[in-house]
Every structure is written in C-alpha cells, then in structure tokens.
A = this chain, B = another copy of it.
Amino acid sequence: MAEQQRLRGPYAKGVAKRDEILERALEVIAREGYRGASVKELAEAVGLSQAGLLHYFDSKEELFTEILRKRDEVDIAEQDLVGDEPADLRAAYLAVIRHNAEVPGLVQLFARLSVDATDPAHPAHRFFIERGVGLRTFFASAIADRQATGAITDRIDADTLARIVHAVVDGMQVQWMLEPDVDMAATVEALFELLSPAPGEGVSRTSN
C-alpha cells in the first residue's frame, strides 16, 4: 500500500522514488509510445518488476493518472506558464503544442485516459475536470484582457472562446494521431488569427 507515502510527507523515501519513477516513465512513454501499455511493460522499461512498480501506486489507473499529472507539471515549468498572465501566452502555448508533436506516446496516453476518465468512477475523473476548468479559466482570463484592448473580438464571450480553444487543441490531437502529417500548431495558430477582430488592424505578422 502507498499509504506511507501519502501520509508521511516529505521524509518518506517513497516520495522521491515515486517521483523518479514518474520521470522515467515520462521519458519512456514519450520515446517508445503508448499503445495501451501494460503495467508490466512500463515496469520493465523503468527497471522494476510489475509488483515492484505497483508498490508505489495503488492501481494501474492511478499510476497513469499520476504520469499525466507529472507531465502537466513539467510542461508548465518548462514554458513558464506560471504567473497569471505570462509575457506571451500564445507563443508559450504554441510551444507546448509543438512539443507534443515530439512525444506521441504522451499524447496517446492523454487521449486514451481523457476518454476513459469520462466515467465518474474512474480515478482520473476529477483530475480531468479540474485540469479542464483550470486551463479554460487561465485562457478565459487572458482572452478577456485582450478583448478589453480590442486585440480579440468580443462578439463571443471569453468563456466560450476558451472552450473553443480547448476543444480545438484536444480535437487536433486526435487528427494528428490519426494522420501524423497534420500540423497541430499551425491549425491552432490559425484559430488564434481568427480571434483577432478586424483585418488590417494591429494584426501584423511580424512577431505574434
């Protein structure tokens, strides 16, 4: 049981090891892909037996949920998406998307789990709800700011626009997995263009 780790906090050796496992898992899945991989496969890839790996996680589903949680953590840190309003949210987010195209296995895992977690009984259910809410809140607030300055159209409210952006990103991942030649980032970029209100305004194509 993983109770020790959950309860004991920072001193528990388990926490560090658990984290190390997640990082290894992230690399392995990114590199070798995820095709409904079994715990055993992943265990071997990170250098443990199946039982050894499951020592740190209560179940397969919890394990994979934690991998995704870790991924978000890494992405957020890497792209400086920390403050409430990063210097260039748009560019930073496009960078995340471009990065995704380098780690197909993680995209597969994410897509698979986001469908499975649709079931309220799934351990990742809450995670995906909270993740979605967080993502869209973040975007909605950035969008609202730009609406106030006229940089983004206000014909549609910010919450709905945020929902659209979220949907496009998820939807494009599926299109890309199916046909890897598809350019996810370019399409999302086109969507951002679409959000700008008028043609020939401050919408030059110089920087962003």
Q: Chain A interface (Cβ within 8 Å of chain B)?
A: 35-36, 108, 111-112, 114-119, 125, 128-129, 132, 153, 155-156, 160-161, 163-164, 166-172, 174-175, 177-179, 182, 186-187, 190-191, 193-195, 197, 199
Contact = CB atoms under 8 A, between A and B. Distances in A.
Given A118-B108, A153-B194, A193-B156, A187 B163 contact: yes
A115 B164 contact: no
A115 B174 contact: yes
Nearest to A191: B164
B155 A114 contact: no
Given A193-B155, A199-B155, A35 B115 contact: no
Contacts of A36: 116
DSSP class of A's interface residues: helix, strand, loop or mixed?
A: helix
B175 A132 contact: yes
A156 B199 CA distance: 11
Contacts of A169: 167, 171
A195 B116 CA distance: 32
